[in-house]
Amino acid sequence: MRHDISPRLLRAFVAVAEELHFTRAAARLFIAQQALSRDIRRLEQAWGRALFDRDTRHVALTPEGKRLLPIVRRVLSAHAQLSEELDHTQVSGNARPLIVDVALHGSTGPPVLAAAREAAPDLEFVPRFHSGLARAAAEIADGRLDVSFGRVAGLPPTVRDGLEHRLIRYDQLAVHLPPGHRLTALPRVPLAALAGETVYAAAGNEDTTEWTDYARTLFAGRGIKLAPPFPKIEGEVEFRRVMDKHSWSVLANIRVSALTDAAQALGTAEGWLERPSDSWLPDIDIAITTDRNRLQTDQRPSKM
């Protein structure tokens, strides 16, 4: 019987035990349901006992599952405490490097990271290049990542509430059109002109669910169709091939501590937090931004 169990499997056990539903637990962990089921089977095989009674209609903890659940929670809590302690420990006389997900080249992350390095040359920043906040949030929870950029309002509330976040910029959007498209001659594409179009926004990519959620909300009631789920596309050449094959337009961003200071300085210089009067945001993004700004205002020291 194996006792050196990965914390990932323990988190899978706790998520299913709390949700008693594999689909909801998988969404909470940002993994596919099949992967979650596989992790639970591995854990049950490693421990030599069934943790759940399950059929097509319900999921329930077995007596052994109920007995082990509080122990597993304590183990995960101790693991998180250890990770936090190590994060603040000096290693070989140097501070632990900060691991930063800067997402794709041309997005917000790279210029912020460059500015932070210039402003704090004694600190070490290690970049990672993921493609979505959903995946990054899971890695932050695992202790494998420290900072990321993305639309936090698109994360489930339970995940969002576990993250420290702040507004960095309002991104403008672009639509990449297939060659010869009827709208390519326009210098600016009105949203209403996309009615009847099918637009790709990464549906089917589990790393970027927050982006797909944004597009789905934006398109609702406007006659714009979200391209159907498609497996994650790797590489620019393959991405172009798939878009051309299906004649899909693509919704995309326009690219116009030390990291947050650098982000604030860049945002002020480049007007990242200035919203055009005719811009649009989902209601949840506005609510989160308003709450965050109110909290920051309340925490500012008063002047005597």
**pLDDT in the model for residue 86:** 66
Three-state SS string across 104-165, please? CCCCCHHHHHHHHHHHCCCCCEEEECCCCHHHHHHHHHHCCCCECCCCHHHCCHHHHCCCCC
Question: How many CB atoms lie under 10 A from the CB of residue 132?
Answer: 25
Tell me if residue 271 falls in helix, strand or coil.
coil
> Which residue numbers in the chain have pLDDT < 50?
90-93, 255-257, 295-304
What DSSP designation does 262 have? H
- The letter for the amino acid at 214 is Y
What DSSP designation does 179 have? T
Tokens in use for 188? 């600016």
| Residues 189, 175 contacting (CB under 8 angstroms) | yes
Non-local (6+) Cβ contacts of 171 within 8 A are 108, 253, 254
Tell me if residue 291 falls in helix, strand or coil.
helix
Pairwise CA distance, residues 126 & 269, whole Å: 25
Q: Treating both helix axes as pointing N-terminal to C-terminal, what angle do 7-19 and 22-29 enclose, rounded to 10 degrees?
A: 130
**pLDDT in the model for residue 287:** 80
CATH 1.10.1030.10 fits 7-87, yes or no: no
**pLDDT in the model for residue 235:** 75
Consecutive H or E run containing 253: strand 249-253
**pLDDT in the model for residue 88:** 57
Non-local (6+) Cβ contacts of 117 within 8 A are 123, 125
The C-alpha R_g of the chain, in whole angstroms, comes to 22
**Mind listing the pLDDT tens digit for each residue in 166-210?**
888 887 788 888 888 999 888 888 999 999 999 999 999 888 899
| Residues 134, 152 contacting (CB under 8 angstroms) | no
| Domain residue ranges of the chain, discontinuous segments joined by + | 7-87, 98-170+256-299, 173-253
Query: DSSP states of 20-85 as a string?
Result: S-HHHHHHHHTS-HHHHHHHHHHHHHHHTS--EEE-SS-EEE-HHHHHHHHHHHHHHHHHHHHHHH
Residue 125 phi, psi (nearest 5):
-115, 130
CATH topology of domain 98-170+256-299: D-Maltodextrin-Binding Protein; domain 2 (3.40.190)
Q: Long-range pairs for 184-192 at CB < 8 Å and ≥24 separation?
A: 191/218, 191/222, 191/224, 191/280, 192/222
Question: How many CB atoms lie under 10 A from the CB of residue 77?
Answer: 10
| pTM listed for this prediction | 0.55
Q: For the chain, give me the number of helices (H) and strands (E)? A: 11, 8
